[in-house]
């Protein structure tokens, strides 16, 4: 595959940084709000999270909506801490993988994320990996909340590749969400589904011969 591609486009959550969505529910439960998972589903239905991920909803508006759902007693710090609780670690071997991939390919990142999570995972990478410039690990980094587009929409993939004059047919996209993989393929990219219950991104990179 290495001779067939010149660009690698990676997802962030699940691929590079460990994510535990239940940790956020546990965090809010510890604050006395046991129904967060039910309310999370309700908020999904009224597109709160989609709007937050595309920048249509500001952090202040997001926090106010969470207070409407869970009660007015939550301050901004408690909401941000609970919301970021799902963010885990980036093992150092994944950072090493990025360095190696960047030497061989145009390396890009496309993440569906929001304006509270961005400083949250940047702080984790700085604290755990000593890296204060996460974007410097890539040739280009694109957050849905900044570009106003999100996966699996074709427009999100096309926007990213156009910034680098990258050929979709020579671009490999890796994501742990199958709907995003389908979206990438529909947009003309090569795409691989990272099945986290079977392997991690290092195993997938080795199996595909990306560093051979």
**In this predicted model, what pLDDT tens digit does every residue of 139-175 receive, in sequence order?**
999 999 999 999 999 999 999 999 999 999 999 999 9
Paired tokens of 126:
């700085």
Has residue 208 got a pLDDT over 80? yes
Mean pLDDT over residues 179-187, rounded?
98
d(CA 210, CA 200): 14
What residue spans in the chain does CATH classification 3.40.50.1000 cover?
7-18+90-207
Mean pLDDT of the chain: 93
**In this predicted model, what pLDDT tens digit does every residue of 47-63 receive, in sequence order?**
888 899 999 999 999 99
d(CA 147, CA 108): 14
Has residue 39 got a pLDDT over 70? yes
Q: Where are the alpha helices (DSSP H) in the chain?
A: 21-30, 36-45, 48-53, 59-70, 76-84, 92-104, 117-129, 144-147, 154-163, 178-186, 201-207
Angle (deg, nearest 10), helices 76-84 and 117-129: 60
**pLDDT level of residue 42 (50, 70, 90 thresholds):** low
* pLDDT of the residue at 33: 84
What residue spans in the chain does CATH classification 1.10.150.240 cover?
21-84
* pLDDT of the residue at 1: 65
**pLDDT level of residue 37 (50, 70, 90 thresholds):** confident
**What is the CATH code for 7-18+90-207?**
3.40.50.1000
* pLDDT of the residue at 61: 96
Picking from 76, 90, 85, the residue whose alpha carbon sits closest to that of residue 22 is 85
Laid out side by side, the sheet with 106-111 consists of 140-143, 106-111, 7-10, 171-175, 190-193
* pLDDT of the residue at 47: 81
3-state SS, one letter per residue, for 114-175? CCCHHHHHHHHHHHHHCCCCHHHHCCEEEEHHHHCCCCCCHHHHHHHHHHCCCCHHHEEEEE
Has residue 96 got a pLDDT over 80? yes
**What is the CATH code for 21-84?**
1.10.150.240
* pLDDT of the residue at 177: 94
Look at residue 9 and give its three-state secondary structure: strand
* pLDDT of the residue at 43: 61
Has residue 212 got a pLDDT over 90? no
- CA 110, 111, 116: angle at the middle one, nearest 5? 140
**In this predicted model, what pLDDT tens digit does every residue of 6-28 receive, in sequence order?**
999 999 999 999 999 889 989 98
d(CA 19, CA 38): 19
Neighbouring CB atoms inside 10 A of 47's CB total 13
Q: Are strands 140-143 and 7-10 parallel, antiparallel or unpaired?
A: unpaired
Picking from 150, 27, 16, 29, the residue whose alpha carbon sits closest to that of residue 86 is 27
* pLDDT of the residue at 150: 95
């Amino acid at each position: 595959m290495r001779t067939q591609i010149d660009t690698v486009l990676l997802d962030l959550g699940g691929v590079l940084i460990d994510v535990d969505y239940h940790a956020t529910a546990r965090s809010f439960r510890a604050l006395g709000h046991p129904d967060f998972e039910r309310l999370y589903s309700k908020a999904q239905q009224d597109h709160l999270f989609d709007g937050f991920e595309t920048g249509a909803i500001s952090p202040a508006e997001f926090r106010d909506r969470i207070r409407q759902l869970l009660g007015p007693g939550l301050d901004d710090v408690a909401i941000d801490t609970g919301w970021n609780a799902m963010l885990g670690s980036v093992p150092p071997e994944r950072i090493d993988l990025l360095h190696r991939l960047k030497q061989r390919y145009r390396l890009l990142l496309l993440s569906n994320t929001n304006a509270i999570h961005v400083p949250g995972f940047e702080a984790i990478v700085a604290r755990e990996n000593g890296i204060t410039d996460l974007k410097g690990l890539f040739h280009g980094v694109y957050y849905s909340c900044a570009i106003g587009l999100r996966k699996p929409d074709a427009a999100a993939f096309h926007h990213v590749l156009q910034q680098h004059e990258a050929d979709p047919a020579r671009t490999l996209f890796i994501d742990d969400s199958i709907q995003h993989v389908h979206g990438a393929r529909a947009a003309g990219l090569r795409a691989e589904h990272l099945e986290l219950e079977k392997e991690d991104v290092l195993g997938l990179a080795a199996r595909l011969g990306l560093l051979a």
